[in-house]
Amino acid sequence: MLDASGRASRWAEMADTGTQTRAKRTVRLTAGRLYQNRWMLAAAAVAVLAVHFYGAASAWVTVLAVVLLFLFAMVAPRTNAGRRLAEVAARAERSPLDRLSGEKLAAAVADPLIIFDRGSAVVHANEAAETAFGAIKPDLPLLLKFRAPEMQALIEGVLDGRNGSLTAEYVERVPFERVFRVTASAVGRGTGLFVLAFKDQSESRRIDRMRADFIANASHELRTPLASIAGFVETLRGPARNDANARDQFLQIMQNQTGRMARLIDDLLSLSRLEMKPYLKPGVKVDLRQTVEAVIASLAPLAAETGVVVERDFAEGALEVHGDRDELFQVFQNLLENACKYGQSGGRVEVSMRRVSEAGEPELEVTVRDFGPGIPAEHIPRVTERFYRVDVETSRAQKGTGLGLSIVKHILSRHNGRLTIRSELGKGSAFTVSLPAR
């Protein structure tokens, strides 16, 4: 903090600086005025000197005339040349934004942008617009380019001079569905130009649809066992109150249903945790051979129950990746459990592991193959979606939640890996996990 004397000194310095600045400005202005009127001053000086030498005028009269000429030059209005110089200086001092062209501004916008005139003809389309909608040539009528009724109404509305900006929703269905929020408005006042700005809403709509589907599916999956439990409770309180056999049977079913709900909730929590941390921190080295062996050992009772023999085909040497061992254990547990449950008719499951090179980068591939009925081709692209089932009844009979492969996909995404599915009806299915080998 400054004391009073310090502030006074500071103000004095500021006052001196301001005085010096005004003095410099005055000197520049005076010099400029004299320079602008230099030819008039020269002619007047010659005339005064001629009168002095040839007209025998008093020397004092001559000096007075010269002084008056200088004063007149200083206060005389600027000439056309002076105005032109002032205009050039003013243009040089304008904001850099004033020197930017409309095309450069449009090119800097990441979203599609189309500028058009009063005749709805295209004046300019930025690169994002041409990427989204194909080539848009100048003078192309927008009403022919965008034939959807909502776009026609939007363009005609802004051309009719309605105040403010107009908005509409535009859906492109080819080559795939995209949803845009389109805003139309005039460019400035009196320019005769208008702009269409497109904001892609496809991803947010897809997420909203997934959220709605997820809530609906989760509600349905939980409602079914709850309805079953409620029905058995009501029966045990009524007709089967004193029936010991029925009571034991119903309690077993209720236990199975509560177990199903517990598995579903556990899987939902796993998905939630994975989505909350989509990026995996650098992990420790994980020995895939040991991890897969541990999975096979943990599922030995299930394999024995379903009558499936697990065969191994592992490459020699170290088979290591960087990652989270618990998550990778969950990946192979889901895949091997599915193979035992849904491929039990084949009598065996084969787990193989090998080193490969993909685009010059070393990878480890782990394949879990069953020899069961296989998966129809039309279902393969969707089997990793939440709650998607190829056969609903079979899945429920096997105590599946419909979330296992979705969890696998999320974990592999966190590990920069991928899941490949190959299947042929009557010959079984093969699920291959590819992970970068480091």
Greater confidence (283 vs 192) lies with: 192
Distance CA 3, CA 9 (A): 10
CB atoms within 10 A of CB 211: 10
Q: What is the pLDDT of residue 40?
A: 62
Q: What is the pLDDT of residue 336?
A: 92
User: How distant, in Å, are the alpha carbons of 156, 158, 193, 328 from that of 117?
Assistant: 12, 11, 5, 59
In 3D, which of 338, 410, 332, 403 has the Cα closest to residue 374? 338
Greater confidence (133 vs 41) lies with: 133
Which range, of 23-27, 113-117, 231-235, 321-325, averages the lowest pLDDT? 23-27
Q: Taking a C-beta distance cutoff of 8 angstroms, is the pair 17, 60 a contact?
A: no
Q: What is the pLDDT of residues 180-229, one digit of tens each?
A: 999 999 887 778 889 999 999 888 887 777 777 777 777 777 777 788 88
* Interval 285-300 mean pLDDT: 91
Q: What is the pLDDT of residues 257-272, one digit of tens each?
A: 888 788 778 877 777 7
Q: What is the pLDDT of residues 362-419, one digit of tens each?
A: 889 999 999 888 888 888 888 888 777 776 555 555 556 678 888 888 888 888 889 9
Q: What is the pLDDT of residue 24?
A: 64
Q: What is the pLDDT of residue 422?
A: 92
Q: Taking a C-beta distance cutoff of 8 angstroms, is the pair 34, 73 a contact?
A: yes
Find where tokens 């909730």 sit: 265
Q: What is the pLDDT of residue 424?
A: 87
Q: What is the pLDDT of residue 398?
A: 55
Q: What does DSSP assign to residue 323?
A: E
* Interval 3-16 mean pLDDT: 54
SS3 content of the chain, % helix, strand, coil (to 5): 55, 20, 25
Distance CA 150, CA 143 (A): 11
Is the sign of the CA dihedral 174, 175, 179, 184 positive or negative?
Answer: negative
pLDDT beyond 50 at 2: no
* Interval 318-324 mean pLDDT: 87
Greater confidence (175 vs 371) lies with: 371
pLDDT beyond 70 at 43: no
Q: Which two tokens stand for residue 227?
A: 């309805």
Q: Tell me the percentage of the chain whose pLDDT exceeds 90.
A: 16
**154 contacts: CB under 8 Å, gap ≥ 6:** 166, 167, 168, 182, 184, 196
Question: Reduced to 3 states, what is the DSSP secondary structure of residue 209?
Answer: helix
Distance CA 168, CA 159 (A): 15
The gap from C-alpha 388 to its chain's centroid, in whole angstroms, comes to: 27
Which domains, from first to last, does the chain contain? 4-97 (no CATH), 100-200 (3.30.450.20), 204-275 (1.10.287.130), 280-436 (3.30.565.10)
Q: What is the pLDDT of residue 366?
A: 93
Q: What is the pLDDT of residues 46-104, one digit of tens each?
A: 566 655 665 555 566 556 655 655 555 555 555 555 555 555 555 555 555 555 566 67
Q: What is the pLDDT of residue 197?
A: 92
State how beta strands 284-287 and 193-200 pair.
unpaired
- Model's pTM, two decimal places? 0.51
In 3D, which of 145, 144, 143 has the Cα closest to residue 155? 143
pLDDT beyond 90 at 350: yes
Q: Greatest CA span in the chain, whole angstroms?
A: 149
pLDDT beyond 50 at 1: no
Is the sign of the CA dihedral 304, 307, 313, 319 positive or negative?
Answer: negative
* Interval 352-369 mean pLDDT: 86
Greater confidence (36 vs 121) lies with: 121
What is the residue-averaged pLDDT of the chain? 77
